[in-house]
Amino acid sequence: MLEWSASELSRAIHARKVAPSEVMAVHLDRVAAVNGAVNALVSRRDPDEVMAEARALDGQEPKGWLHGIPLALKDLVATRGLRTTWGSPLFADFVPAADDILAARMRAAGAVITAKTNVPEWGQGSHSFNPVFGVTRNPYDLSRSAGGSSGGAAAALAARMLWVADGSDMMGSLRNPAAFCNVYGFRPSWGLVPSDAEGDTYLSTLATEGPMARTVEDLARFLGVMAGENPEVPFPRAVPDLLTGLDAGVKGLRIGWLADWGGAYPMEPGILDLCEAALRGLEDMGAVVEVLAPPFPAEALWSSWVTLRAMLNAGGKRALAEDPVKRAQTKPETIWEIEQGMGLSAQAVYEASVIRSRWHAHAARLFSRFDAVVLPSAQVWPFPADWRWPQEIAGRTMDTYHRWMEVVVPASLIGLPALSVPVGFGPEGLPMGLQIIGRSGADARVLAIGQAWHRASGWPQRRPPPLAAG
């Protein structure tokens, strides 16, 4: 059962071939066997309590796709009655009185929430460690990072503790950990999965929540649970049919290969080679792959990105820097982000938004010629778990704590759908992924490309982590 997809598990539960209590027993046994080494699931509920909840579902008519499936939500999502910390010691004992919209939708679809998945403090940085729970380790090499900020989710999926997981992505937080852990992570078009009506909801359009899984079918079905309008927030997006054309294949599709963006994005040795081998596989399936020159100046994208990101961090987290008690318990990278934003002028924010607007227009023209463009999901292999962040890539020094993740910015800046698919393993046995990026709203097509790749490769099933035996 541990190797089943979430879709297979859901079908078995709905057909009453498997009871939710049986699924829960498997889940709890697996968590007991491997979570101590990986540290992916945190704030775990009492096993007897969740088993009782699962038994209560055994005889019930399924109320949704997730009926009876154990689920752990990212520790950036508020969960009613279950500790939510954001990885911060300031909230180490915080228990929300109400669910965020995402948690409410999971419960409504029948999920049994058993725990949270670990994150970096405040979700910042693509390495999941914090002073509350410690570091999440990569199931393929316990000395390495699982990525972040959805690192706990990716590691739990890879280690077969979960069948499907939620994540969120501002700067690659669904894509980088998926690549590091040999699973799928999908950043949907911005607005497809709505936010909660808290704080600013007009300017905050850089981050989104999305699904992670070991199959693309699971991504599509889980996204169907997550997506849908929240009338309390602006810019709603209609939910597309994500399943009907999922097996359309890639024959005749035009795919642009952006590689390292003309050398702007340094890559550790072997990453481009592995991605190019995957592209040859897509060509064998009938896709037409063309090498592209950089369509927009990388430094302009970065300038726009760091300005807008700093503006949002300063706006939403200013109190962490200004309150001496809170400041002392907040990691320096977050304080740096806030202070960068506090020093911005309105003109600087406007100019960053103009760059963003110009890139949107350029991308629209690019997607008039191509069905998708592709980039590596990460610029480095999974790095030692005791690092805070990689300080250089291929001899190039990183000038910020997040510059090593720059390859994810082109999609994030303008809210494009981007799917990280596994593409195999490097010489040291470490996983890597490839971003498949589509035009805004082309989520179904991006997933269909991923489905064709999954059917041809099946990396999560073909190369399970060493922990698979428990």
Only one residue has tokens 């078009």, namely: 189
Strand residue runs (E) in 17-139:
41-42, 70-74, 112-117, 129-130, 134-135, 137-138
Only one residue has tokens 């690192």, namely: 151
**Largest CA-CA distance found in the chain, in angstroms, rounded:** 62
SS3 (DSSP) at 255: strand
Cβ-proximal residues to 415 (8 Å cutoff; 6+ apart), any chain: 189, 190, 191, 205, 206, 208, 440
Peptide bond into 149 cis (omega under 30): yes
Does the annotation count 74 as an active-site position? yes
Q: Do the beta carbons of residue 374 and residue 418 sit within 8 Å?
A: no
Catalytic residue among 7, 173, 304, 412: 173
Does the annotation count 17 as an active-site position? no
The C-alpha angle 440, 455, 3, rounded to 5 degrees, equals 105
Distances (CA, A) of 47 to 24, 28, 213, 289, 460: 9, 7, 24, 50, 28
Q: Do the beta carbons of residue 150 and residue 212 sit within 8 Å?
A: yes
Catalytic residue among 7, 74, 317, 440: 74
Strand residue runs (E) in 43-83:
70-74
CA dist 258 and 267 (Å) reads 13
SS3 (DSSP) at 185: strand
- DSSP letter at 380 equals S
**Which H helix or E strand runs over 322?**
helix 298-322
CA gyration radius, the chain? 21
Q: Do the beta carbons of residue 183 and residue 460 sit within 8 Å?
A: yes
Only one residue has tokens 């097996």, namely: 247
Does the annotation count 377 as an active-site position? no
Catalytic residue among 10, 149, 195, 377: 149
The C-alpha angle 317, 323, 325, rounded to 5 degrees, equals 115
CA dist 121 and 306 (Å) reads 19
Pairing label, strands 288-291, 254-257:
parallel
Q: Do the beta carbons of residue 382 and residue 431 sit within 8 Å?
A: yes
Instruction: Provide the CB-side half-sphere exposure for 190 (13 A, CA).
Output: 19
Active-site residues: which are they? 74, 149, 173
